[in-house]
Amino acid sequence: MHGLGKHACLNAIIPAGRLHLEEGDVDAAIDVLIASSNQFFKDAYEAATRSNQPGNLLRHVLMACALAKADDSGYFTPVAVKEPLSAILGRHVEIANFQNHLKAFIDPKRKGVLQRDGEPRAYRFRFKEPAMQPFVIMKGFMEGIIDADAKLALSSPEEPDLFAT
């Protein structure tokens, strides 16, 4: 977050001479942060979302995981992924539509970006590396995975629910 604020401020001050931030400044800061991110995050994201299948949902499901409501330990349930994924895709989804994606994200072949805890039918997930979550959100912004309304909701901390039902 500090890097995002720093680069947004620099983008406003240096080229434009402004003392206030605009959405474009934050977008530019996201581009800088993604470009300068640790190679580990870039490689892990690419491994987690790579597929030969056209129209696959790996990037969308990983983004929904990053936006899912989590507990104080960072764990979220598959139920918590349904709402953001439905909003991202613009259609209703059930857990069965993405449970294989969650399983794939814990696989070492996909760099194990998520870790799983619990028993079958009561699994909880969280990002293995906590800094991966904001990386995924920023990549989602850059790739246009979420729409402008969701982006606006994320920029308003007073908003209680990102995807209100």
Residues 134-153 have pLDDT tens digits of 889 989 988 888 766 666 55
The type of residue at 52 is N
- Long-range contacts of the stretch 68-74 (C-beta < 8 A, 24+): 70/126, 71/124, 73/126, 74/126, 74/127, 74/130, 74/133
Give the residue among 32, 132, 102, 117 at the shortest CA–CA distance from 71.
117
pLDDT category of residue 159 using cuts at 50, 70 and 90: very low
- What is the per-residue pLDDT for 71? 94
Interacting residues of 132 by C-beta distance below 8 A, sequence separation 6+: 41, 44, 45, 113
Rg of the chain on CA atoms, in Å: 16
pLDDT at 19 over 50: yes
Residue 145, classed as helix, strand or coil, is coil
Percent of the chain with pLDDT over 90: 52
Interacting residues of 79 by C-beta distance below 8 A, sequence separation 6+: 95
**What pTM was computed for the model?**
0.77
Q: Please provide residue 133's backbone torsions phi and psi, each rounded to the nearest 5 degrees.
A: -60, -55
Give the residue among 69, 59, 48 at the shortest CA–CA distance from 126.
69
84 with 107: CB under 8 angstroms? no
- Taken in order of first residue, the domains within the chain and their CATH numbers are 1-36 (no CATH), 38-154 (1.10.10.10)
Give the residue among 90, 115, 92 at the shortest CA–CA distance from 102.
115
Give CA–CA dist 26/28, Å, rounded. 5
Give CA–CA dist 162/165, Å, rounded. 10
pLDDT at 68 over 80: yes
